[in-house]
Amino acid sequence: MSYFSISNVSKSYDHQPALHPFSLELKKGEFLAIVGESGSGKSTLLKIMAGLEVQDAGEVFLESMPILNPNQKIVSGYDEIRLIHQHLHLYPNSTVEENISRQLLHYEKSYAKSRVEHLLQLLGLSDFRDRFPRQLSGGQKQKVAIGKAMAVEPDVLLLDEPFSSLDSIQTHHLISELKEIFREFGTTVIFVTHDLDDALRLTDNLIILQKGKVVQKGTSRQLCEKPKTKYVAQLFSPINKLPDTKNSYVRPADVQLRTKGGLLAHVTDSRFLVHFNSLQVKLKESGITWEVDDSQRKYTVGDRVYLNWDNSKLMNL
């Protein structure tokens, strides 16, 4: 039997399916990212996993322990499975140290003290231990929320877009730091996000959710090279639809730019990016706009450019 297992869990609200039957098996210490757009059922799924939402069908198990939902258990939720979301629920009138130690009131005193010290140090919060949440930056608050959740040594940590109030640089730093901490504790982590880049900072083990259904599972390479839907393809880059086809697309990086021979287009916009200029071009015959990568930074607005591609790079979506 696997460590954390979800078997055919589903949920509807007012007869509208929010989550179609969903199953998952995770090993201890494994990381998983679930990527999906807004309304795809990510939060619903995590709440069911944490025993905080009543599912219509299906079961959740942590090893051999069934996770009971709020209809089956008087105090809902488990210390073993902690859910952290955007609303961090810090105690506003307690210091950083107190926020974390309040989780450990029922534990033996010397153990609680050393656990709090260890977490403060690991999370880089030792210098802020006496501050109140209002005196902290967004990133520091996120860390306190993680510290609170980690205090009780959860076996499974569920992260529901907890970093959405941070900018992408802060988020990437924080995820890298936390990854080390989760590894040290052997915590099993499920991270849900709409941002593939954030997901990949934690793990290459991905599930893509769309309208409450799993559309694809795999590594980023598998998903990038063989996306099953337009949504999955677009998580990696914009895609360009070939004129006069129903569903053939090519990525900007797979279009070669030439001064003659190929599909004629005019450059309408150019953006300087770190490895190339990203061009917007208007195709002459169809009037469709494409995005293409100009790796040699050769073309400017108004230029004619001829587009070519290798048919093996086409995606039928």
Ligand X SMILES: Nc1ncnc2c1ncn2[C@@H]1O[C@H](COP(=O)(O)OP(=O)(O)OP(=O)(O)O)[C@@H](O)[C@H]1O
Contacts with ligand X by CB under 6 A lie at: 13, 18, 36, 38-44, 194
Residue 88 host element (H or E): none
| Nearer to ligand X among residue 122 and residue 145 (C-beta) | 145
CB of 315 to ligand X, least distance (A): 25
CB of 78 to ligand X, least distance (A): 20
Long-range residue pairs from 89-94, CB within 8 A, at least 24 positions apart, any chain: 89/145, 90/133, 90/141, 90/144, 90/145, 90/148, 91/133, 92/132, 92/133, 92/134, 93/132, 94/132
Tokens representing residue 180 in the block: 């080390």
Q: Residue 206: what residue type?
A: L
| Nearer to ligand X among residue 38 and residue 110 (C-beta) | 38
| Nearer to ligand X among residue 11 and residue 141 (C-beta) | 11
CB of 34 to ligand X, least distance (A): 9
| Nearer to ligand X among residue 164 and residue 286 (C-beta) | 164
Considering only CA atoms, which of 1, 3, 36, 32 is closest in space to residue 19? 36
- Per-position DSSP letters for 280-309, written without gaps between them: EEEETTT--EEEEEETT----TT-EEEEEE
| Nearer to ligand X among residue 2 and residue 23 (C-beta) | 23
CB of 198 to ligand X, least distance (A): 13
Those residues with Cβ within 8 angstroms of residue 284's Cβ, 6 or more apart along the chain or in another chain:
263, 264, 265, 266
Give, as one character, the DSSP assignment of residue 226.
S
CB of 86 to ligand X, least distance (A): 8
Residues 230 and 197: their CA atoms lie apart, in Å, by 17
CB of 8 to ligand X, least distance (A): 17
| Nearer to ligand X among residue 95 and residue 164 (C-beta) | 164
| Nearer to ligand X among residue 104 and residue 156 (C-beta) | 156
> How do the residues of the chain divide into helix, strand and coil, expressed in percent and rounded to 5?
30, 30, 40
CB of 288 to ligand X, least distance (A): 31
| Nearer to ligand X among residue 13 and residue 91 (C-beta) | 13
CB of 17 to ligand X, least distance (A): 8
Radius of gyration of the chain (CA): 24
Those residues with Cβ within 8 angstroms of residue 29's Cβ, 6 or more apart along the chain or in another chain:
183, 186, 187, 188
CA angle 230, 198, 32 (to 5 degrees): 85
